[in-house]
Amino acid sequence: MDVYGLIGNPVGHSLSPPMHEAGYETLGLDARYVTFEPAADAGAEAIEAAETLGIDGLNVTIPFKQDVLDAVDPAPLAERIGAVNTVDFSGDTPTGYNTDAVGAVRALAHHDVSLSGTAVVVGAGGAGRAVAFGLADEGLSVRVANRTESKADALADEVPAATGHGLDSLPDLLADADILVNCTSVGMEEDETPVPADALHSDIAVLDAVYTPIETRLLQDAAAAGATTVDGAWMLLYQGVEAFERWTGEDAPVDRMNDQLREHL
Ligand code: NAP
């Protein structure tokens, strides 16, 4: 049997086990997905322990995404982002990937959003870094806007062809933008949004990384403006799909994994 899993602290609320196990069941794979909760300072040790135990793959979540960089051989994108959320143990050394970046790209592609032009990424934390690098690698011009403008500037210095801004600039930044991704935690509380509704328009596609609630105020405003909307569960789904495919070498049964994820949200 193959064993995959997740390390995080806490991990009790994770949606990954039902999503991945639905995939194994659909493909008839003899595999399990288990959650582990190491002490908050033991991320690197957990990777070493998993390798010793013969675990096949691990997802990594808060607070370990940066800590485990030293315990793995990071893929170039994970190294640039500075965070790992997926570890593959099939090679001589554990390899670290960041599938959040690809997750956002595949979520947009699933909705037939053209991956070209200009993207506005709101937020410069972990999700903002991953999405900014992911979209830039697809060839988009990225504008990063963040409450703390200096963090947006610092991220924009690292991302090819990116610029950094404060949140005040959002109406100007969005006027001719093709894609907007909310990578702040704003939207988890009822009726809050990081983007003024009147800055949205029908020529933009809006992905909200927030997935609780599924239908955020931002997505409601975007739909009212006639924009294409993509909820955060699609990004969550595709970061998992990307890990699943890397570990198993099989095409993931995306529809089934999506159903399971949404059933548990
Ligand atoms: P993080 O590293 O803590 O970053 C938080 C970001 O939100 C920062 O840019 C912060 O700005 C901004 N922010 C926080 N409160 C704000 C406020 N009141 N007004 C304006 N900006 C505010 O968090 P993260 O890991 O990037 O996660 C961000 C969100 O993305 C969370 O809701 C998380 O669940 C979601 N997420 C979703 C997925 C997915 O697969 N769908 C994956 C990863 C994350 P400052 O720099 O100014 O503090």
Query: Three-state SS across 126-178?
Result: HHHHHHHHHHHHCCCEEEEECCCHHHHHHHHHHCCCEEEECHHHHHHHHHCCC
Helices (H) and strands (E) in the chain, counts: 10, 12
| Spacing, Cα 7 to ligand 1 middle (Å) | 20
65 contact partners, CB below 8 Å, separation of at least 6: 83, 84, 85, 126
Average pLDDT, the chain: 97
| pLDDT score recorded for residue 210 | 97
The pLDDT tens digits for 118-170 are 999 999 999 999 999 999 999 999 999 999 999 999 999 999 999 999 999 99
Flag whether pLDDT at 39 surpasses 90.
yes
Residue 237 C-alpha to ligand 1 middle, in angstroms? 18
| Distance between Cα 97 and ligand 1 center (Å) | 20
How do residues 213-261 score in pLDDT, each as one tens digit? 999 999 999 999 999 999 999 999 999 999 999 999 999 999 999 999 9
Q: What is the pLDDT of residue 3?
A: 98
Question: Atom of ligand 1 at shortest distance to CA of 210?
Answer: 32
Mean local confidence (pLDDT), 88-98: 97
pLDDT tops 90 at residue 13: no
> Which one of 147, 191, 241 would you pick to mutate in the ligand 1 pocket, going by the greatest count of ligand atoms within 8 A of its CB?
147
pLDDT tier at 12 (50, 70, 90 boundaries)? Answer: confident
Q: How far is the CA of 261 from the centre of ligand 1 (A)?
A: 21
Assess whether pLDDT exceeds 90 at residue 74. yes
By percentage, how much of the chain surpasses pLDDT 90?
99
Residues having CB closer than 6 A to ligand 1 are 100, 103, 123-128, 146-148, 151, 183-186, 188, 194, 209-211, 232, 235-236, 239
Active site residue 151: no
